[in-house]
Structure 1
Amino acid sequence: MVDVVVSTALFVVSLAVLLVASDAFTSAAERIGLSFGISPFVIGVTIVAGGTSLPELVSSMLAVSQGASEIVMGSVVGSNVSNMLLVLGIAAVVGGDIRVIRELVEVDLPLLVASAVFLILAVWNSPFSWYEGVLALAALAVYVHFTISEKDRYVGMLVEELVEDEPDAEQQPTAGPKTYALLLVSMAVVFGAAYVLVESIIDISGSLGIGTELIAISAVALGTSLPEVVVSVMAVRRELPGLAVGNVLGSNLFNSFLVTGVPSFIGDLAVPNSIRGYGLPVMVLVTVLYFFITQDREITRSEGTILLLLYVLFIMNLGTLL
């Protein structure tokens, strides 16, 4: 019993440290990019979007190296479901109706559905292997390239407007030794916290006799979705609904392609029956449901309530797999 309590405490602390360190790393990388004159929009769809998936990415790489690759798919599936049901549900309920940008409906949402279908096809009867990782990273590269090349898209214009509104917009940010030191230190902390996180997951699952993927799909996914909850709610409150939806879409696409693609080069990603038979099908169904909900370019408060209820149902059904 003592071992479980200690492992749980380490899990909570390491997850919190991981999120804080990831945010610090992303902020430092963003400032360094701006100091080199890189467009804020380009930084937004690369460094910032990827930064939200950094906790999942690092912990997934370490999980594979430690022989617990089943954590990867559990983390990805759980995070994607949490983003679509929990994050957007809370944002819609708290902030009111969320209007969805036309470009997201025409481009990003179909890509989101395609990424979910890609995952379930890739692991249909086999582990997720390196050549599927190559396809995943190629798909992510195409998405990032397309997003960057579309200069007249709403998100690009919105970022430019926000930058122009800043009083110091004309002054190019500089990155001194402290910024580079923060980048290195935060990256080291990210790896250290991720290592402790993975070890605590393995210890908890061993002590309680449950699969590590179930802890990843529930507790880890919920914890790593908390920053998205805060960002999305604040965006809706500031009457920037496009950022709330874009935050979730970008995070899910990076999870599906980056967080699975990179670790697959370390070793094949095992897919337990609980993920293949329950987690992945639910993720695909939720993605399709989300696609249809947004066809009228609005997520209402009542629809947000339904999304939250579906998340509760998802977690309750996970309990039957324990």
Structure 2
Amino acid sequence: MTYLLLIIGFALLIKGADWFVDGSSSIARLLRISPIMIGLTIVAFGTGAPEATVSIIAALEGSPEVTLANVVGSNILNISLIVGVTALISPLKVESSTIRKEIPFTFLAGIVLLVLISDIYLQYADANIITRSDGLIFLMFFSIFMYYIFEAARKSRDKTYEENVLLEKSEGTWGKNILLTVGGIVAIVAGGYFVVENSTSIALKFGMSETLVGLTIVAIGSSLPELVTSVVAAVKKQSEIALGNIVGSSIFNILFVLGASSLITPLEVNNKVFFDVYVMIGFTIILFIFAITKCRVSKLEGIALTLTYVAYLIYIVVRN
């Protein structure tokens, strides 16, 4: 029954994110909000909603290791496996703003996380904890990122987002779109609860640590919306929009998800997660290097990212 509920939870997360994106995007169109604004905000937050919900529920349920591991694990998976698989389908075109601003901002978010969890090393504290004041720092950085997003959307005249695969749905009626949006939120919250409760139960049953479960089962499950979105975009030869969405989602995970979760309750840091944070930062640097070469991520580079993630996954399972 536990495994069935876990699968149901993942299904609710994925379908809920899909409903939320469709409904809220159509509402934004009915309100005549810029398509690029929709792509950079509503779509990014919609696909990031499962990670946010799972992490916040884990914090409320007293499983802080799942919260932090889910964020770090999801980001590693986003930047390596999802980018790699998408590039395998169709080489990823990289916008200049992504190279100059968004990937460096992702790197900055990773460094901020590393600094704020290093209490023992930097402050000679008794334990490493993401405190509520640390959460406020994350949210302040997130506010800066949001300001950049709104300014970029306001100034941009690029209409390519109108072809975004996520935004091709017809607007429909107000009632239908509100129902989709609310239903999506409800499904995401319910799915997040099922995933946290049952994955934690499985971890205890098999002697797995909460950190390992967060880095693997929960991270992979909650990142499925980003994977599906990116793969569909690549299949439809719109891969240039996939990388920006993935990078934006990674920034959202660190700055908003950890910020909101640590405001609910301070998050204790398992010392093993430091290695994973280093890996996350390392993948960000590798992605930047790949991106600046001919402004694209090639199929060969996609294979390298995918295989490196597989090697990392094997390592953390053995490490447990």
- TM-score under structure 1 normalisation? 0.89
Change (3 A) 1:308 1:106: same
Deviation of 1:140 (Å): 1.8
Give the conservation status (yes or no) of the 8 Å contact 2:102–2:247. yes
Q: After TM superposition, list the pairs within 5 Å mapping 1:10-159 onto structure 2.
A: 10-95=5-90, 97-125=91-119, 126-150=128-152, 151-153=154-156, 156-159=158-161
1:188-227 paired onto structure 2 within 5 Å: 188-227=186-225
Out of 231-240 and 264-273, give the one that drifted further. 231-240
Q: Report the residue type matching 1:65 in the other structure.
A: L
Alpha-carbon offset, residue 38 of structure 1: 2.0
Query: Can you give the 5+ residue segments of structure 1 that lack an aligned partner in the other structure?
Result: 1-5
AA aligned to 2:145 is: Y
Contact preservation (8 Å) 2:78, 2:250 = yes
Q: Write out per-residue CA displacement over residues 137-179 of structure 1, whole angstroms, 9 at most, x where no aligned residue.
A: 222222222122124548x44225769x9898xxxx4642232
Distance 2:241 2:169 in 1: 21
Q: Does the 8 Å contact 1:205/1:215 carry over to 2?
A: yes
- Deviation of residue 200 (structure 1)? 0.4
Sequence identity (%) = 27
The one-letter amino acid paired with 2:185 is M
Alpha-carbon contact 2:86-2:239 (below 8 Å) kept: no
2:257 equivalent to 1:281 = no
8 A Cα contact 1:274 1:321, kept in partner: no
Aligned residues: 309
**Residues 1:153 and 1:184: Cα distance change in structure 2 (over 3 Å):** closer
- In 2 relative to 1, CA 161–194 (structure 1 residues): closer, same or farther, beyond 3 Å? closer
The two structures, once aligned, show a CA RMSD in angstroms of: 2.2
1:119 positional shift: 1.0
CA distance in 2, matches of 1:195, 1:225: 16
Aligned equivalent of 1:307, options 292, 305, 310: 305
Paired letter, 1:207: K
> What's the counterpart of residue 2 of structure 2?
7
CA contact (8 A) 1:83 1:252 kept: yes
Structure-2 separation of matches of 1:223 and 1:103: 29
Q: Bigger CA drift: 236-245 or 302-311?
A: 236-245
TM-score normalised to structure 2 length: 0.89
Paired letter, 2:273: I
Opposite residue 136 of structure 1, the aligned amino acid is F
Distance 2:169 2:109 in 1: 39
Once residues 80 and 248 of structure 2 are traced to their aligned partners in structure 1, the CA distance between those partners, rounded to angstroms, is 15
